[in-house]
A and B are shown apart, each in its own frame.
Chain A
Amino acid sequence: MNLLDPNPGAKELLLGNEAIVRGALEAGVGFISCYPGTPSSEVPDTFFRLAPKAQYYFEYCPNEKVAMETAGSASLGGVPCLVTMKHVGVNVAADPMMTLAYIGTPGGLVILSADDPGCHSSQNEQDNRYYARLGGLPCFEPSTAQECKDMTREAMELSAKWEQPVLLRTTTRVNHLRGPVKFGEMKPAKTRGEFRKDPSRFVPIPAVARVRHKVLTASLEKIRSEIENSPWNKSWGEGDVGVIASGVARSYLKDVLKSHPQIKVRVLELGIAFPFPENTVKNFLAGLKKVVILEELEPILENDVRTLCQKNGLDVQVTGKGEALPLWDEYSTLCVEQALAEALGLPMETKSSPSPDLSGLPNRPPNLCAGCSHRSVYLNVRKVFGDDAVYSSDIGCYTLGILPPLKAADFLLCMGSSISGGCGISRVIDNPVVAFIGDSTFFHSGITGLINAVYNDYNIILVILDNRTTAMTGHQPHPGVDQALYGRRPGSIEIEPLVRASGVQNVRRVKALNQKAVLEALREFREMSGVRVLIAEEPCPLYAKRMLGVKRNKVATVKDPGPASLECLNTLACPAFFIEQGKMGINPDACAGCMVCVQICDEIKPGSRS
């Protein structure tokens, strides 16, 4: 499969995220920026992988705000731009995004917001369609791989035509589905442009902003009439009950109608629901008694339809959010089926699904990997502070330290919050506060919190868990990673000088797997006050193996199983450990050779990988 194939016609099975890449390429995208985050990550990662063979410019940024600003401003130079992030990343990037909608984006700017209904890998399930309404961004919502490709392309074209940023709003299911995609013609990448100076447009001082707000509103009205006729907003079917569906709910609806041919409804699929295509919807409602609105999460279309009915005096019964269609989680064929049955007053045979006896079934939560240096650091933090300290956590693999026996996460807000959150609580409680942050998250938005900690004279210990990569989202580089690894200009931004430059006096830098060094630094810090920063360094073992070619030939073996090794098993809980007949063993296939257990337990010794 060649996503860079300049010719149309190929039909490939693509991940939704790969299809988005192809769509942007077909539109001639010239500048792409991002901060990775599940479920958006395969979009930038694919651009990154293809970059050496392609013409476009691509960059990973320290955070979403920076990414929005680089891509948004590149579009001011007349180049078609794409910026990608997960839904909560849009919160970080919202400030420049709102302004970009006012001043406009001459080259075109598409903002991918990958939402996560069901919180598969996120701290919330906010509905970013609201951002489209808040900022004034036309909003595309694909539901299939082909639509991911086609809508991205069209979103880029629409954005360039109206010089307004456009939101491409996906959901986890859509980002991570695989479906056939027919390739279209590919425009050459437009990577150079020119900036036509116009301060009365591009510098939103109040006098300019007031005018630009009106321009934005007028543009949205023009876009509204354009999308009234869009093939993405299409109606079909028959009957006096209607269904208006958006996003992946359209797919569930189609499958329900296919398996229940007795259900007769008229359907309006809204692929672009903002600006709300009022005439299209009004025409659709004509002659209907009842309309069911299918949209995951918030009742946005439902409210738009209710408003439309009120404005036009339409006597249509509107049903949406309720018992069958909740405000939370994902939709499914089952909930759509139930909602339609209720609306049509049809008796639905209640399908009985198997209900096996699952009592006492152990759970299988995701876990820190064998050999992960976070486990080593957490072990020592617990040794020194136990349950007394409050652990302010952050977003990354290390959040998995929440589980016993490590229990190294007491609260968490968002990317970068560990330091400022830890500071806030430290001022009002008597317990010591220890904050944990990863290297990528530190660059993302930890630095400002650290500066605040020094500036406002806080008592806090910050542990920077530096595993030299963005591990959780798939090992993307970040400013602290030597770019020479990726064939780019050598060099990286070191964390320690950055911490010192922020005014921190007490900084220790240790090898994260070295038990003595980690423990001593923490004990020393316990007796001190002020801002104390421990930088614990060790590459993520998965990354070290795959990217750095590190081979660990040693494995740990329990030489003399007794109570000490059982104690080690209970405090460290490494996934390579097991108990057999009351004695501890270590699975050599799973052991990553970190040798943390060897350092803390006399019954465990290094051995060779046989």
Chain B
Amino acid sequence: MKPLRVFFTGVGGQGTLTATKLLAETALEQGIEVNAGEIHGMAQRGGVVHSFVLLGGYHSPKISRGEADVILGFEPMETLRALSFLCHDGLVLSSEDPVPPVSVSTGRETYPPLGHIKSETIKYSPKAQFIPCITLARKTGVVQTANTVLMGAFFSMGVLPLGLDVLLDSIKKRLRPALVEVNLEAARLGAEYVSRHSQE
């Protein structure tokens, strides 16, 4: 396959690292060369989480500025903050549902307008897609599946040499039985959303 660098950005507690591991394990099982990287420690205390999956023969465990073929943003403001990592002609897939930092929720700072986040993103990634991940995840009854909504969207876009069916199989195989159904539904919701919006 054509080598591909996938950059994950999100907020501690959103399942960014779970999604990272899911992509890395799925790709390895499909015979793709994988290297992935993450940083632990401060993540679960509401800080920013960056992680990386490098497919197709890279050695590095991280992605530098201007190198990411794809940015998967699990939180829109963090997508904006991570844009400098995108390569020329790269693709951004992002949640459009904000998770405000404490400074914003307590009124000390202001969250950037979603319109600004989207226009800045589209400037560098004309095909960028914004997905209401949390809103869609609520439909499954488990809001924590918002990360899987984004993964479903990603696998259905034809950027990876792996389709949505591969993700669904991997979810069945790797997640705890109690979590499988809701995550399958979340992945499908994400995929449907982008297919509807690509046609528009």
User: Which residues of A are at the interface with B, using a C-beta cutoff of 8 A?
Assistant: 13, 38-39, 41-42, 120-121, 143-144, 172-174, 176-180, 248, 250-252, 254-255, 258, 330, 332-334, 351-358, 360-369, 397, 400, 472-473, 542, 569-570, 573, 575, 577-579, 587, 589
Given A13-B25, A362-B111, A364-B78, answer yes or no on A258-B64 (Cβ-Cβ < 8 Å).
Answer: no
Q: Is the beta-carbon distance between B59 and A144 smaller than 8 angstroms? A: yes
* CA gap between A289 and B166 in the complex, in Å: 51
Q: Is the beta-carbon distance between B86 and A354 smaller than 8 angstroms? A: yes
Among candidates B41, B64, B104, residue contacting A334 with C-beta atoms closer than 8 Å: B64
Residues of A within 8 A of B84 (CB): 353-356
Given A178-B21, A361-B77, A569-B106, answer yes or no on A356-B83 (Cβ-Cβ < 8 Å).
Answer: yes
Q: Is the beta-carbon distance between A367 and B46 smaller than 8 angstroms? A: yes
Interface string of B44-65 (1 = CB under 8 A from A): 1111100000000111111011
* CA gap between A575 and B100 in the complex, in Å: 10
Given A248-B61, A251-B60, answer yes or no on A180-B109 (Cβ-Cβ < 8 Å).
Answer: no
Name the residue on B nearest A145 (C-beta): B35
Q: Decide if B97 is an interface residue (CB 8 Å cutoff).
A: no
User: Which residues of B are at the interface with A, using a C-beta cutoff of 8 A?
Assistant: 11-12, 21, 24-25, 28, 33-48, 57-62, 64-67, 77-78, 80-81, 83-88, 100-107, 109-112, 116, 120-121, 123-124, 143
Q: Is the beta-carbon distance between A579 and B107 smaller than 8 angstroms? A: yes
User: Total A-B residue pairs with C-beta atoms closer than 8 Å?
Assistant: 169
Given A351-B66, A362-B111, A364-B101, answer yes or no on A173-B106 (Cβ-Cβ < 8 Å).
Answer: no
Q: Is the beta-carbon distance between B81 and A176 smaller than 8 angstroms? A: no
Q: Is the beta-carbon distance between B65 and A353 smaller than 8 angstroms? A: yes
Taking the closest CB of chain B, its distance from the CB of A367, in whole angstroms, is 5
Name the residue on A nearest B35 (C-beta): A179
* CA gap between A305 and B155 in the complex, in Å: 48
Given A258-B57, A332-B64, answer yes or no on A177-B37 (Cβ-Cβ < 8 Å).
Answer: yes
* CA gap between A358 and B120 in the complex, in Å: 10
Q: Is the beta-carbon distance between A361 and B112 smaller than 8 angstroms? A: yes
Q: Is the beta-carbon distance between A358 and B59 smaller than 8 angstroms? A: no
Q: Is the beta-carbon distance between B103 and A251 smaller than 8 angstroms? A: no
Among candidates B38, B67, B116, residue contacting A178 with C-beta atoms closer than 8 Å: B38
Residues of A within 8 A of B100 (CB): 578
Q: Is the beta-carbon distance between B101 and A39 smaller than 8 angstroms? A: no
Q: Is the beta-carbon distance between A366 and B112 smaller than 8 angstroms? A: no
Residues of B within 8 A of A569 (CB): 106-107
* CA gap between A362 and B83 in the complex, in Å: 15
* CA gap between A106 and B42 in the complex, in Å: 39
* CA gap between A254 and B35 in the complex, in Å: 13
* CA gap between A358 and B84 in the complex, in Å: 10
Name the residue on B nearest A177 (C-beta): B61
Given A356-B124, A362-B103, A575-B102, answer yes or no on A174-B59 (Cβ-Cβ < 8 Å).
Answer: no
* CA gap between A364 and B75 in the complex, in Å: 12
Q: List 7 A-B contacts (CB under 8 A).
A: A143-B59, A333-B67, A351-B88, A353-B85, A354-B123, A362-B104, A362-B109
* CA gap between A416 and B64 in the complex, in Å: 36
Name the residue on B nearest A337 (C-beta): B64
* CA gap between A332 and B39 in the complex, in Å: 15
Given A13-B28, A351-B66, A573-B102, answer yes or no on A176-B46 (Cβ-Cβ < 8 Å).
Answer: no
Q: Is the beta-carbon distance between B62 and A173 smaller than 8 angstroms? A: yes
* CA gap between A251 and B36 in the complex, in Å: 12
Q: Is the beta-carbon distance between A362 and B110 smaller than 8 angstroms? A: yes
A interface SS class: loop
Q: Is the beta-carbon distance between B39 and A400 smaller than 8 angstroms? A: no
B interface SS class: mixed
Of all A-B residue pairs in the complex, the 8 with the closest CB atoms, nearest first, are A353-B66, A177-B61, A366-B47, A121-B41, A366-B45, A251-B59, A578-B105, A38-B41
* CA gap between A180 and B25 in the complex, in Å: 9
Q: Is the beta-carbon distance between A252 and B48 smaller than 8 angstroms? A: no
Q: Is the beta-carbon distance between B64 and A358 smaller than 8 angstroms? A: no
Taking the closest CB of chain A, its distance from the CB of B102, in whole angstroms, is 5
Q: Is the beta-carbon distance between B45 and A333 smaller than 8 angstroms? A: no
Name the residue on A nearest B79 (C-beta): A356
Given A366-B46, A579-B105, answer yes or no on A180-B34 (Cβ-Cβ < 8 Å).
Answer: yes
Among candidates A176, A354, A356, A587, residue contacting B39 with C-beta atoms closer than 8 Å: A176
Residues of B within 8 A of A333 (CB): 60, 64, 67
Taking the closest CB of chain A, its distance from the CB of B45, in whole angstroms, is 4
Given A353-B84, A364-B46, answer yes or no on A577-B12 (Cβ-Cβ < 8 Å).
Answer: no
Name the residue on B nearest A252 (C-beta): B60
* CA gap between A26 and B115 in the complex, in Å: 55
* CA gap between A271 and B4 in the complex, in Å: 27
- Not counting A354-B66, A400-B45, a sample of 11 additional A-B residue pairs whose C-beta atoms are within 8 angstroms of each other reads A38-B41, A39-B39, A174-B61, A180-B34, A248-B60, A332-B64, A333-B64, A356-B123, A366-B43, A366-B47, A575-B105
* CA gap between A13 and B42 in the complex, in Å: 23
* CA gap between A120 and B62 in the complex, in Å: 14
Among candidates B64, B80, B110, residue contacting A356 with C-beta atoms closer than 8 Å: B80
* CA gap between A587 and B21 in the complex, in Å: 29
Name the residue on B nearest A255 (C-beta): B60
Among candidates B38, B45, B57, B86, residue contacting A369 with C-beta atoms closer than 8 Å: B45
Given A356-B120, A578-B100, answer yes or no on A573-B106 (Cβ-Cβ < 8 Å).
Answer: yes
Residues of A within 8 A of B78 (CB): 364
Name the residue on A nearest B117 (C-beta): A356
Residues of B within 8 A of A174 (CB): 61
Of A42, A174, A570, A578, most buried by chain B (CB within 10 Å of CB) is A578
Name the residue on A nearest B46 (C-beta): A367
Name the residue on A nearest B80 (C-beta): A356
* CA gap between A121 and B42 in the complex, in Å: 7
Q: Is the beta-carbon distance between A179 and B102 smaller than 8 angstroms? A: no
Q: Is the beta-carbon distance between A178 and B60 smaller than 8 angstroms? A: no
* CA gap between A363 and B181 in the complex, in Å: 36
Q: Is the beta-carbon distance between B35 and A362 smaller than 8 angstroms? A: no
* CA gap between A136 and B40 in the complex, in Å: 31
Q: Is the beta-carbon distance between A364 and B38 smaller than 8 angstroms? A: no
* CA gap between A434 and B32 in the complex, in Å: 55
Name the residue on A nearest B25 (C-beta): A13
Among candidates B34, B88, B111, B121, residue contacting A179 with C-beta atoms closer than 8 Å: B34
* CA gap between A570 and B43 in the complex, in Å: 24
Residues of B within 8 A of A360 (CB): 110, 112
* CA gap between A356 and B85 in the complex, in Å: 11
Q: Is the beta-carbon distance between B106 and A362 smaller than 8 angstroms? A: no
* CA gap between A362 and B108 in the complex, in Å: 9
* CA gap between A178 and B101 in the complex, in Å: 29
Q: Is the beta-carbon distance between B45 and A397 smaller than 8 angstroms? A: yes
Q: Is the beta-carbon distance between B120 and A368 smaller than 8 angstroms? A: no
* CA gap between A250 and B35 in the complex, in Å: 14
